[in-house]
Amino acid sequence: MRVKYVSEQEYPKLHQMVTELAQKAGLPNTPKIGISQLPIPNAFAFGRTKKGSRVCVTKGLLELLNEDELKAVLGHELSHIKHLLHHQSSGDVWVTNQRILCGSGEC
């Protein structure tokens, strides 16, 4: 899956959401934001440190969810950055993956 990191000019609302959520979560910085062209709704967070973290969403997720739903998914992903990194050994790469299984009643 290829991820293209996007600028605030390209996706201003997405950047605004992630920035606000990162501040509320007390993260040291806003994660770098990426988008995958996959049509499958998905979001994930990864990195080596909180300062080097990334959050990515797929085109399928952006097309499926409304703003409040997207904010909830992003908040979930940022919680992994805040909490999972706290429990990882330094230098470990961590990845979390949140799949949205719409249509199966698990959205």
Catalytic residues: 77
**Each residue of 42-63: b (16+ CB within 10 Å) or e?**
bbbbbbeebeebbbbbbebbee
Q: Rounded to 5 degrees, what are φ and ψ at 104?
A: -105, 5
